[in-house]
């Protein structure tokens, strides 16, 4: 019985450790997927703006930073805010720059806006460390429709 | 003697707990192994998602830049045959020069995109282009000759061994063929020219300087480009226009290709008035329909009760105020030669005071009435039902490019009235401005999109 108890204890510790490791793997994947969706959401918002008004203020050159909560992303509702709030574990930086003078991007009028969306987050790790910042980015070019 | 079997039974149970423990651990270990396997897949799935997303947006970037390149290229018929040279049925895709393995990011290994085009010359393309042998325009029949201003563009984004390809159909609303500075394709024409003089010139004008210097009319000079007629009308409307231009003071203001000696020097007067039939109301209506169908086209609606009035300033301005007298007022950018615009009005449009712009000014199913100065670089089109081009007041209308007044209704009448109080009408052919108008973004559209 003593031996069984010892074996069980060792086995359970090993399983718990493995379970924790596996859970962190799933969490890392989930975190990255959420980051991708947040980046795509931003790109699609800007693409919609470009379709209707290419000179919209939201498409002006510069960098904006938003803080996003990992909530359900649906429609045009956004879980992102301009200020860091409670529960906001994703940082979304959008850099927009006018591209002129290269192939397909004439000098005038401005027909190309390069959009770079970076979403940073800190995944849950098996050791509980929160200093392993990760980042995904999406880069594209937007143009006017008329 | 009875204790012996009990001792034996107890001896049989020894180690059972260990066995049960091992079995339990084995089961839990199996479950854990499965969970670990799944958890190892999750980061890979999300990494693939991130890479695929990046590759797809690179491909989208290629679509935008490829679209811009296509807007800037046109052959004589308004198509893209120049991009298709060398294409074959077996190898129809032709890379767009300058858009192969293009990197967007400044950092290394951030992915690339490549863009290629092909002609729509197979029945398999009908589902994505909507064009077939029986449609108008019809689909093309050769991989190298683009006669319908429609091509299929493909952009492939590649990032970290992941590739995504986006395919779109790009179409251009090709400008109608202009045989003359002023084209009036109609069976019946009611023309009244009361102004002291007109300047309708089928010789080609260009401005070499560019920029603001081209705002001055004297900067535009006759080029060596082929002549066009001064006025072109429908076959049955020639008598009406000739009657309106009969006075020598007016007729002398009409210049262009001679109808009796087309290869010779330019002619004046009725000699440069033709009815060659190159431009038909059907062709004009087709162009207007394609432009109106473009989702990017903003059609300004004018009604009989609330007609649109575009008000400029004492000095002609491209930033005019658009109102309808029924509470709607907005500012409209009429464009410049560097940034031409499409101004599409359905219904009557009245131009008041000084207005200038560049691109295409299109009035469908209504009257275009200019009460002040109008300077337009590009094309002015009045088309549809009940088309009227009317110049009144003391202003002067100067169009560098071409002008069309067309009537859709068979047997319908086009009215062209140049009032005696107006400072006259000047329409000069300009291939330079026609090319600028053809390069309008609003004449191009992406009509399909699919990821393959």
Task: Return the pLDDT at B1.
Answer: 46
Number of A–B residue contacts, CB under 8 Å: 147
Q: Is A77's pLDDT higher than 70?
A: no
Q: What is the mean pLDDT of chain A?
A: 86
Task: Return the pLDDT at A72.
Answer: 58
- The two three-digit tokens of residue B270, written as one number: 């009725």
pLDDT tens readout for residues B291-348? 998 877 889 999 999 999 999 998 889 999 999 989 899 999 999 988 899 999 999 9
Q: Which residues of A touch B61 (CB under 8 A)?
A: 114, 139-141
Alpha-carbon span B357 to B399, nearest angstrom = 10
Contact A53, A89 (CB under 8 A): no
Mutate to test the interface with A, among B43, B48, B158 (most CBs of A within 10 A): B43
pLDDT tens readout for residues A94-139? 999 999 988 999 888 889 999 999 999 887 666 656 667 889 999 9
Please give the radius of gyration of chain A, using alpha carbons only, rounded to the nearest integer: 22
Task: Return the pLDDT at B70.
Answer: 94
Reduced DSSP (H G I as helix, E B as strand, rest coil) percent helix, strand, coil of chain B, to 5:
30, 35, 40
- The two three-digit tokens of residue B102, written as one number: 């293009």
Task: Return the pLDDT at A42.
Answer: 94
A23 vs B: CB within 8 A: yes
Contact A97, A61 (CB under 8 A): yes
Alpha-carbon span B137 to B401, nearest angstrom = 25
ipTM of the complex model:
0.90
DSSP H helix total and E strand total for chain A: 1, 5
Task: Return the pLDDT at A125.
Answer: 66
Q: Name the residue ranges covered by the structural domains of chain A.
A: 2-142
What are the residues whose beta carbons fall under 8 Å from the beta carbon of B215, sequence distance 6 or more? B356, B375
Mutate to test the interface with B, among A6, A25, A38, A51 (most CBs of B within 10 A): A25
Helix (H, G, I), strand (E, B) or coil at B370: strand
Task: Return the pLDDT at B64.
Answer: 95
Under-50 pLDDT residues of chain B: 1-3
- The conformation of residue B57, written as its DSSP 8-state character, comes to H
CB-neighbour burial class of residue B201 (10 A; exposed 0-12, middle 13-18, buried 19+)? buried
């Amino acid at each position: 019985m003593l031996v069984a108890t010892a074996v069980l204890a060792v086995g359970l510790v090993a399983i718990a450790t493995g379970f924790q490791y596996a859970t962190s793997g799933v969490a890392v994947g989930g975190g990255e997927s959420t980051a991708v969706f947040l980046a795509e959401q931003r790109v699609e918002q800007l693409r919609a703006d470009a379709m209707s008004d290419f000179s919209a203020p939201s498409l002006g050159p510069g960098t904006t930073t938003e803080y996003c909560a990992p909530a359900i992303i649906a429609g045009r509702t956004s879980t992102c805010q301009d200020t860091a709030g409670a529960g906001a574990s994703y940082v979304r930086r959008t850099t927009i720059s006018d591209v002129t003078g290269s192939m397909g991007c004439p000098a005038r009028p401005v027909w190309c806006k390069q959009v770079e969306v970076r979403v940073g987050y800190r995944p849950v790790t098996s050791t509980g460390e929160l200093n392993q910042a990760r980042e995904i980015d999406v880069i594209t070019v937007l143009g006017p429709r008329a | 003697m009875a204790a012996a079997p009990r001792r034996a039974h107890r001896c049989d149970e020894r180690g059972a707990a260990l066995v049960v423990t091992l079995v339990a651990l084995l089961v839990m270990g199996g479950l854990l192994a499965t969970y670990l396997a799944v958890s190892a897949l999750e980061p890979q799935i999300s990494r693939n998602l991130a890479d695929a997303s990046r590759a797809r947006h690179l491909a989208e970037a290629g679509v935008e830049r490829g679209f811009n390149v296509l807007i800037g290229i046109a052959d004589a018929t308004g198509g893209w045959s120049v991009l298709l040279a060398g294409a074959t049925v077996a190898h129809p895709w032709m890379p767009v020069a300058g858009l192969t393995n293009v990197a967007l990011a400044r950092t290394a290994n951030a992915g690339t995109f490549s863009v290629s085009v092909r002609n729509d010359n197979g029945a398999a393309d009908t589902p994505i282009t909507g064009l077939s042998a029986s449609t108008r325009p019809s689909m093309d029949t050769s991989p190298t000759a683009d006669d319908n201003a429609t091509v299929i563009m493909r952009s492939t984004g590649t990032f970290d061994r992941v590739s995504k390809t986006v395919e779109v159909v790009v179409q251009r609303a090709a400008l109608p063929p202009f045989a003359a500075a002023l084209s009036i394709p109609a069976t019946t024409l009611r023309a009244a020219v009361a102004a002291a003089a007109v300047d309708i010139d089928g010789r080609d004008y260009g401005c070499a300087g560019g920029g603001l210097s081209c705002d001055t009319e004297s900067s535009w000079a006759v080029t060596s480009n082929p002549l066009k007629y001064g006025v072109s009308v429908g076959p049955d409307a020639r008598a009406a226009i000739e009657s309106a231009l009969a006075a020598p003071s007016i007729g002398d203001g009409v210049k262009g290709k001679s109808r009796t000696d087309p290869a010779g020097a330019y002619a004046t007067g009725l000699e440069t008035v033709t009815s060659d039939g190159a431009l038909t109301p059907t062709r004009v209506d087709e162009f207007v329909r394609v432009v109106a169908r473009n989702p990017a086209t903003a059609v300004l609606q004018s009604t009989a009760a609330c007609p649109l009035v575009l008000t400029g300033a004492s000095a002609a301005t491209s930033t005019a105020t658009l109102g309808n007298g029924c509470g709607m007022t907005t500012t409209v950018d009429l464009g410049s030669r560097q940034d031409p615009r499409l101004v599409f009005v359905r219904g009557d449009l009245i131009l008041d005071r000084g207005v200038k712009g560049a691109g295409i000014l299109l009035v469908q199913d209504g009257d275009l009435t200019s009460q002040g100065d109008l300077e337009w670089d590009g094309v002015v089109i009045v088309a549809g039902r009940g088309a009227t081009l009317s110049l009144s007041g003391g202003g002067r209308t100067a169009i560098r490019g071409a002008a069309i007044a067309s009537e859709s209704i068979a047997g319908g009448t086009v009215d062209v009235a140049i009032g005696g109080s107006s400072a006259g009408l000047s329409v000069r052919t300009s291939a330079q401005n026609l090319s600028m108008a053809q390069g309008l973004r609003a004449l191009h559209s992406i009509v399909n999109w699919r990821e393959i």
